[in-house]
Amino acid sequence: TKCSGEGIYFAAKSGRMAAEEIVKLMKNGSRLPTQSEIEDTYIRDYDRAYGPTYAVLDILQKVFYSNNGAREAFVELCKSKYVQQVTFDSYLYKRVQGNNPLDDIKLLGETIGCLIKGYAKAKPDAEFSNPVESLKRI
């Protein structure tokens, strides 16, 4: 994913899930599934399995990678043993882990505190402009 760098794992998992669904839909090779049948099975199942992970990673990216203050807050949060354990387990099991409600509430409070502190002490982001490079990417 753009958020985690785990693209190869999720691409392989997606391919396997699609192939398994197509084999089921083919009923021993007696028919070809339609596009809508594939979308109604494989994509629904993939989104159910990994949608929450993508949502959490997207939120984390938007919150913590948006500017210097947020990045400072992220670095501060990474000192937490709970954050380290949740991060490790989430990467290991490819699903968002945690699920300790008390620790999650404490983490929310720590996150807000770290964001306030990060914004207070971080230097503003430098203005960036590189029109030549930007045109190459269009």
Decide: 38 and 58 in contact? Cβ < 8 Å: no
* Cα angle value 76/100/84 (rounded, 5°): 35
Q: Which amino acid is at 4?
A: S
Between CA 57 and CA 96 the distance in angstroms is: 9
pLDDT by residue for the chain (138 residues), tens only, comes to 555 566 788 888 889 999 999 999 999 889 999 999 988 888 889 899 888 888 888 898 899 988 889 999 999 999 999 999 988 888 888 888 777 889 989 999 999 999 999 888 888 777 777 777 767 665
Q: The whole model's pTM is what?
A: 0.67
Decide: 41 and 21 in contact? Cβ < 8 Å: yes
* Cα angle value 124/86/18 (rounded, 5°): 100
